[in-house]
Structure 1
Amino acid sequence: MAKQPKDSSTSPATTQQGKGGGEKQPGRLKQIGMVAKVVHQQSPRTIPIAVGIALGVLAVAIVGGLIFGYWMYWLPFGVLVAFLSGFLFFSRSAQRLQYQMLEGQLGAGMAVLENMRGDWSVEPGVNGNRSMDIVHRAVGRPGIVLVGEGDPQRLKPLIAAEKKRLSRVAYNTPIYDVQVGNAEGQVHIAKLQRSMVKLPRNLGKAEVAELRYRLKALPPAMQMPKGPMPRGAKMPKMPKSQNQ
């Protein structure tokens, strides 16, 4: 007698993954809980301070209601402002801790670029060397931004070579370069996103789309290290901040 096929709808692979075999993403509340757990581990005082700020704002609203009356307005408004105040402090603290955890890691700049808001497309590791100095490329309304991570002196020829390579298809498109790090002339990891946002918008949406199309035809630099990555070297992932 032929064996009946098992019902695939109840298999572990199906229950653990979403449609198309992809891993199901956690919900917003679960994400906040995961961030809160990390924040508590790294800075145990952050959450109590956030709660204290919220309670303080709520207390002011209650006192305002007692003095001026109009409880119908003071109490709901106080609850809303109290929650937003505490949550804003928590979000800023979580983002600051994220940058501290990323600082000094290989690919920290790339982790920030991948979480940038706006119409940006990012290409990791367009150039590099055996010393693990690496250059990423971001394309958006300002034009092309080359983001280097590593030693400032070794990054200079890498960025210069990448600019020369891009000039074949970029034509008159502005090309900016930023080095991430703590050395003189470099941008701290916590300020990278801010410095990118401050760049002028030189291109329209159609021009950005055309630029991306031209860049696809550009052959790779072929200067990335051919040897294996150092043991334990990974591109870190940056959790999305809640205040973005």
Structure 2
Amino acid sequence: MARKETSENPGRLKQIALTYQMTRRVDSKVGLVVAAVGIVTFGVLLAIGFLIEHPVYLGILGFLLAFLAMAIIFGRRAERAAFGQMEGQPGAAAAVLENIGRGWSVTPAVAMNRSQDVIHRAVGKAGIVLVAEGNPNRVKGLLAAEKKKMARVVVDVPVHDVVVGDGEGQVPLKRVRTTLMKLPKVLPGSQVTAVNDRLRALGDLMSNMPVPKGPMPKGMRMPRGGRMR
């Protein structure tokens, strides 16, 4: 058991170090900001401890709260840096959906055209969510075609559209997860499974053509042998 814990700790520390390096490339002040938050938090609690003549207790509390505050600030800035690097890249929404959490079944790239406009599908208690990224005018056709295809096997299930982008009526990449989580839950778990099984039976682009998870490299062209819409 001790060996297992020892082997996992270096992995976590390495992951934190890699996350910090990635964040620092985008946010050069992340180290200073996180350190300042920790020092200020600890200093304030320690000062209060001296004022009420309990420096030891408040010092310990200050240390714990400082560590928590540093972790929260670092997490937020790391998340912001990650979204900043993904924005504008084809397939970025798929990477966000893959980490949406339990209760959702995600199928990346259920529809795509030669211009790399793509639609991903998420199925959960809120129903079916089609997440489109690409040219807003072109994805309308993809969304309509996908809905028509799904209508053959799915009835009376809510279908939501999410078009990723910063324009009017669109959802920024960093808010995609929040948008899905806020949708009203109307389906029981058993129906979610049934709906997902029916949709999978239709097949999708992933079953005919390998599409890498996460953001796809810019300039990538679709092979002619793939099934296109």
TM-score range, shorter chain: 0.7 to 0.9
Q: Distance in 2 between matches of 1:233 and 1:87?
A: 37
How big is the shift at 1:217?
1.7
Q: Does 1:144 align with 2:131?
A: no
Alpha-carbon deviation of 1:231? 6.8
Is residue 70 from structure 1 mapped to residue 57 from structure 2 by the alignment? no
- CA deviations 1:65-84 (Å, max 9, x no partner) are 11102234212111111111
4+ residue runs over 4 A deviation: 229-232
Residue type at the aligned position of 1:83? F
CA contact (8 A) 2:34 2:74 kept: yes
Alignment match, 1:173: 157
* Equivalent residue in structure 1 for 2:174, among 179, 182, 190: 190
CA shift in 2, pair 1:120/1:73, >3 Å: same
Other-structure match for 2:192: 208
CA distance 1:50–1:230, shift in 2 (3 Å): closer
Question: How far does the alpha carbon of each residue in 1:81-101 deviate from its partner, in whole angstroms, 9 at most, with x for none?
Answer: 111111111110010111110
User: Match for 1:60 among 27, 41, 44?
Assistant: 44
Alignment-mate amino acid for residue 164 of structure 2: V
Tell me, yes or no, if structure 1 residue 199 matches structure 2 residue 183.
Answer: yes
Q: 1:106, 1:233 within 8 Å by CA — same for their partners in 2?
A: no
Q: Mind listing any 5+ residue stretches in structure 1 that lack a counterpart?
A: 1-23, 235-244
What is the TM-score normalised by the length of structure 2? 0.83
Name the TM-score, length of structure 1 as normaliser: 0.79
Does residue 1:109 correspond to 2:93, yes or no? yes
Distance 1:52 1:230 in 2: 37
1:233 to 212, 220, 224: 220
C-alpha deviations, 1:85-120, integer Å up to 9, x for none?
A: 111111100101111100100101111111112211
In structure 1, the partner of 2:24 is: 40
Cα 1:167/1:96, change in 2 over 3 Å: same
Aligned-residue Cα RMSD (Å) equals: 2.3
1:85 and 2:69 are equivalent in the alignment: yes
Q: Distance in 2 between matches of 1:141 and 1:231?
A: 34
Q: Counterparts of 1:143-162 in structure 2 under 5 Å?
A: 143-162=127-146
Give the structure with the larger helix fraction: 2
Task: Please say which of residues 87-96 and 65-74 is displaced more in the overlay.
Answer: 65-74
SS of 2:151's equivalent in the other structure is: helix
Gap regions ≥5 residues in structure 2:
1-7, 210-215, 222-229
Q: Which residue identity is paired with 2:163? A: Q
Q: Percent identity?
A: 40
Residue 124 in 1 paired to residue 108 in 2? yes
Check conservation: 1:62, 1:75, Cα contact below 8 A.
yes
Equivalent position SS for 2:150: helix
